[in-house]
A and B are shown apart, each in its own frame.
Chain A
Amino acid sequence: MRRFFFRRFMNVAMTVLCGVALVAAFIPLTSVLYLVISKGAAGLSWDFFTALPKPVGEPGGGIGNALVGTLYMVGLACIMGLPVGVGAGVFLAERGDGTVGRTVRFVGEVLSGVPSIVIGIVAYAMVVVPMHHFSALAGSVALAIMIVPYLAISTEELIRVVPGSLREASLALGVTNWRTSLLVILRTAMGGVVTACLLAVARVAGETAPLLFTALNNQYWNLSPNQPTASLTVAIYNYAISPYEDWHAKAWTAALVLLMLVGVLNLASRVLTRNRLKGAR
């Protein structure tokens, strides 16, 4: 009987502990959302998304160029980074048991843990110094370098959980190895890989450090890879460290826009990965 009460007591105590931990985890999350929305929502307007920034003191103006700059550089980074990252992941999962595979995996794991400011410096040395000026290209190279290891590792994990019986089924149909890898194994893992891509993109879209001294900033529209480019994160940084009250408000609103962008990417990953087939489980 005593054991029974002790068990019941522990059961309740543990449930309460877990509940407390849940609330504790929730506080920072909701407070971030609350602060950003409450301070940033007031500044939202059509102009904010589409207009160029205005000097201090002048009302209005937006961060259109920074929004476009972020999308542009993230887009460039995707073109460079996604195929390489997914390809490396497929390689690691399918052929990664040799020395080359182990080396690539080790490098990937180390690289995915490197602070983003370090990657910024590397991109600076690799692209900015030889070109003699800051550019969108340099910024997107830095972002691409961040995407690749993260994506390679997630892709490998996603592919390794695809049942081996599907590979056998495909090979037994006389399908070649590489077609099996791409059309059966990768396709089966595709839902997860798309999610991993979008999460990688969402992650780098929120990076400031790699862009600070690669893409720098720009007060105007720019779609040339050869020119310095504004980005949401650097805009937030510049507005936030400025001494002006109206720029602080802009920083909050820009932060809200960034949050919305990341949120949309996360939502998109869910919508895209829904199974298109009827009756699918």
Chain B
Amino acid sequence: MNAVASSAAPAPLAAAEGPAPAKVEVQHLNVWFGKNNAVKDTSLAVQSHTVLAVIGPSGCGKSTFLRALNRMHDLVPAARVTGKVLVDGQDLYTREVDPVLLRRRVGMVFQRPNPFPTMSIEENVAAGLVLNGIGGNHQELVERSLRKAALWDEVKERLGHAATSLSGGQQQRLCIARALAIEPEVLLMDEPASALDPIATAKIEELIHELKEHYTIIIVTHSMQQAARVSDHTAFFYMGELVEMGATEQIFTNPKERRTEDYVTGKFG
């Protein structure tokens, strides 16, 4: 499995110095909830400025895997994580790493849009700074983040309105803007379009293409079409196990594993 994952890395950027170091590297990651081994011995690497799609049937551990990458499992008392997650070569699961600071480098967008209901649109975007006690004028940051999230033109006239007055698709782009405002390096997206209609979904996917220029993105998705549309690499999880990872085209046209083939051709899942 390890070999499969590392063989999936794209061509080295600087050939003379060997393969480029991965932005995110996962080594023998296990996540336990009590006695349930939700993610089993997973190893993979994600290069900088690429999009990795994580696919698999419900309950296969793909969201659990994603949440291990910014230590969101720290909040669940019964959860236990072993193995290594390296961002720029630094292991996240050592004592020196403060999960709070880590989460500013590894941002996250959730399945359901979750803007802060007591805050305006503007305040939501600046929330990452304001809640951390960083005061001052955030107007420029708000505009920049909203532009990056392709929401600026729709909301520039009503920045002071309640975030909950936006449509679901707009709320999700607001959440993306909020995540971008803290200037993360890696963006984790947990089925960001699953609660949205096709038009809003298309907007989010377009956005992912643009964001790739500046960020490394790992997206969990239910939709294989979406994975095919947005990602450079695809990892297929089944029953808590990473079955196969490779270039997206290869996974969908020429998978090495039988289970992957069965899943992407719609025989199960």
Interface residues of A (CB under 8 A from B): 163, 165-176, 179-180, 183-184, 187-188, 190, 275, 277-281
B178 at the interface (CB under 8 A from A): yes
Question: In whole angstroms, what is the CA distance A167 to B119 when docked?
Answer: 14
Inter-subunit contact B100/A176 (CB<8 Å): yes
Interface string of B140-162 (1 = CB under 8 A from A): 00000000000000000010111
Inter-subunit contact A166/B178 (CB<8 Å): no
Of the candidates A166, A173, A183, A188, the one whose C-beta lies within 8 Å of that of B103 is: A173
Question: In whole angstroms, what is the CA distance A277 to B163 when docked?
Answer: 9
Question: Assuming the A-B contacts A165-B112, A187-B118, are A172 and B70 also in contact, with contact meaning beta carbons closer than 8 angstroms in the complex?
Answer: yes
Closest to B75 in A: A171
Pick 8 A–B contacts, CB within 8 A, sort by A: A168-B114, A171-B100, A173-B107, A174-B104, A179-B131, A187-B116, A277-B162, A278-B165
Question: Would you give the shortest CB distance from B2 to chain A, in whole angstroms?
Answer: 29
A172, A278, A281: most-surrounded residue (chain B CB, <10 A): A172
Question: In whole angstroms, what is the CA distance A187 to B117 when docked?
Answer: 10
Question: In whole angstroms, what is the CA distance A184 to B119 when docked?
Answer: 10
Closest to A188 in B: B118
Question: In whole angstroms, what is the CA distance A236 to B89 when docked?
Answer: 75
Question: In whole angstroms, what is the CA distance A171 to B179 when docked?
Answer: 11
Inter-subunit contact B116/A188 (CB<8 Å): yes
Inter-subunit contact B117/A173 (CB<8 Å): no
Closest to B181 in A: A173
Inter-subunit contact B175/A169 (CB<8 Å): yes
B182 at the interface (CB under 8 A from A): yes
Interface residues of B (CB under 8 A from A): 70, 72, 75, 100-104, 107-108, 110, 112, 114-120, 127-128, 131-133, 158, 160-162, 164-165, 175, 178-179, 182
Given contacts A176-B132, A187-B118, 19 further A-B contacts (CB under 8 A): A166-B116, A167-B75, A171-B72, A171-B103, A173-B107, A173-B178, A174-B101, A174-B104, A174-B128, A175-B100, A175-B128, A179-B132, A180-B131, A184-B131, A188-B118, A278-B160, A279-B158, A280-B162, A280-B165
Of the candidates B114, B118, B132, the one whose C-beta lies within 8 Å of that of A163 is: B114
Interface pairs A-B: 10 shortest CB-CB: A279-B165, A174-B104, A277-B162, A280-B162, A173-B128, A172-B108, A174-B103, A165-B114, A175-B131, A169-B114
Closest to B77 in A: A97
Question: Would you give the shortest CB distance from A160 to chain B, in whole angstroms?
Answer: 16
Inter-subunit contact B100/A174 (CB<8 Å): yes
Contacts of B114 in A (CB 8 A): 163, 165-166, 168-169
Contacts of A169 in B (CB 8 A): 110, 114-116, 175, 178
